[in-house]
A and B are shown apart, each in its own frame.
Chain A
Amino acid sequence: MIRKLLFPISLLGLLAGCMGTQQPGGQAEGQALNTPTVGEVAEFLKSSGHSPKIQRNDDGGPMLVVNEEGDNFMLAFFDCTTSGGLAARRCTGAEFSVAYPVEKKPTLSRINEMNQNYRMVKAYVNSEGNPGVSMAVNLGGAFTSGNLADNLDWWVSAMRHFEEDIGWN
């Protein structure tokens, strides 16, 4: 596992702490989902304490705007069915993302360094020149709401970790 070998031990420990790494267990948890609708994903987020709003993206597809302790992040959907209302669409992929209008922009070299170290997310500079972070999740096929909750935990931890890395707040 080359990336493990490249990490200094201290950095591995830091990442594990920041990213909510868990120990293997192997128990299914939560309700069964099967390529859930956008509405089902929104309901899940509500049950997790968030306030998602379903919106139409530039391509006419569904997206969620989600509030997390005062900050908004997006959940964009991909490879969606096209009939019915936005909440009824089923999509096989989704991407959590947020960008930050920081004064001191990170260099692409620094962004590349972050991407070498990050595990579940990726960093980039968006078209406005602001640093952004995103995490794509597969929604196709059958899985549990526990798996989705785990992804949400990963995302929120990674978002906070990224904010520290770019000096936000």
Chain B
Amino acid sequence: MKQGIQSIIAAAGMAVASFIPVSADAAQNKDDIGGRMTPGEIARIMQENGYAAYVDEDGEGDPMIIANADGTKFGLVFFDCEKGGAMPDRYCTDLEFMAIYDVDKKPALVKLNEWNAGQAFGKAYLRDETSVSLEMPINLAKGVSESFIVSSLEWWASIMTSFDKHMWPK
């Protein structure tokens, strides 16, 4: 079993190497609420919290973040985005954390249902015969802060670990 953000990239016909640097503008106060939490700002927050993260472009011309936490790769895909300007600066109303697990053996739907019924955060589903998705949406509309993003990151890190233990106990 492997995590596969590469699967997202390959399926969407994107180039892995197209690195787009993130703005170094630091937030004044982590609780300051702005109306425009951009992909570039989120990538900066992730980097400052120990994640490898950079903004890329998805197959539809919208921003996405490719990230890595302790060797586990995942992506942040954005929805309802502005269409002009540099990728890191395009405001989007919401995002979804996404990890795709390539599996040798198709997991039972009852196992995925146990997760979905028992856990608040993180939606799991079978994508096809050989891969499983874990997703967590976050609404960015109408004002969020850096501390809000950090808390969301903590939830995501927590459920990635829990999901792995639930699906593939050692």
Interface residues of A (CB under 8 A from B): 1-5, 21-30, 32, 34-35, 76, 78, 92-95, 108-109, 111-112, 115-116, 118-127, 132, 134, 136-144, 146-147, 149-151, 154
Bound CA span A121–B92, Å: 19
* Contact present for A119 and B79 (CB under 8 Å): yes
Distance (whole angstroms) from the CB of A113 to the closest CB of chain B = 8
Question: In the complex, A115→B116 CA distance in Å?
Answer: 10
* B93 in contact with A22 (CB, 8 Å): yes
Query: Distance (Å) between the CB of A85 and the closest chain B CB?
Result: 23
Contacts of B91 in A (CB 8 A): 24-26
CB nearest neighbor in A for B36: A26
Chain B neighbourhood of A142, CB < 8 A: 30-33, 144-145, 147-148
Interface residue SS majority, chain A = mixed
Nearest CB on A from B49, distance (A): 12
Picked from B8, B34, B113, B147, the residue with its CB within 8 Å of the CB of A125 is B113
Q: Does the CB pair A124–B155 fall under 8 Å?
A: no
Shortest distance between the CB of A153 and any CB in chain B (Å): 10
B60 touches A150 (CB 8 A): no
> Interface size (B, Cβ < 8 Å)?
60
Q: Is B80 an interface residue (CB 8 A)?
A: yes
Chain A residues in 8 Å Cβ range of B12:
1-2, 5
CB contact between A93 and one of B64, B81, B141, B155 (< 8 Å): that residue = B155
Q: Once the chains are docked, how many angstroms separate the CA of A21 from the CA of B125?
A: 23
Contacts of B31 in A (CB 8 A): 34, 141-142
Measured in the bound complex, the distance between the Cα atoms of B121 and A154 in whole Å is 16
Indicate if B26 sits at the interface (CB-CB under 8 A): no
**Option from A108, A115, A120 in Cβ contact (under 8 Å) with B139:** A120
B21 in contact (CB, < 8 A): no
In the bound complex, what is the Cα–Cα distance between A5 and B82 (angstroms)?
19
Q: In chain B, residues 103-142, which have Cβ atoms closer than 8 Å to a Cβ of chain A?
A: 109-110, 112-113, 116-117, 120-127, 136-142
Main secondary structure of the interface of B (DSSP, over half): mixed
Closest 8 CB pairs of A and B: A140-B151, A141-B147, A28-B143, A146-B142, A144-B143, A141-B148, A122-B123, A95-B120
Report whether A108 and B109 are in contact in the complex, using a CB–CB cutoff of 8 Å: yes
A93-B121, A143-B145, A150-B142 given; A1·B137 CB < 8 A:
no
Q: Are B142 and A138 in contact (CB under 8 A)?
A: no
Q: Are B155 and A92 in contact (CB under 8 A)?
A: yes
- Check A1/B64 contact, CB under 8 A, given A28-B33, A138-B148, A146-B141: yes
Q: List 10 A-B contacts (CB under 8 A).
A: A2-B11, A94-B120, A95-B121, A109-B109, A112-B112, A115-B124, A116-B125, A134-B120, A141-B152, A144-B33
Task: Tell whether, in the assembled complex, residue A137 and residue B36 are in contact, meaning their CB atoms are under 8 Å apart.
Answer: no
Whether the pair B120, A76 counts as a contact (CB closer than 8 A) is yes
Interface string of B71-107 (1 = CB under 8 A from A): 0000001011110000000011110100010000000
Verify B137–A116 contact, CB threshold 8 A.
Answer: no
B164 within 8 A of A: no
Determine the distance from Cα of A5 to Cα of B60 in the docked complex, in whole angstroms: 8
A interface footprint on B1-41 (CB within 8 Å = 1, 0 otherwise): 00000011001100000000000000000111111100000
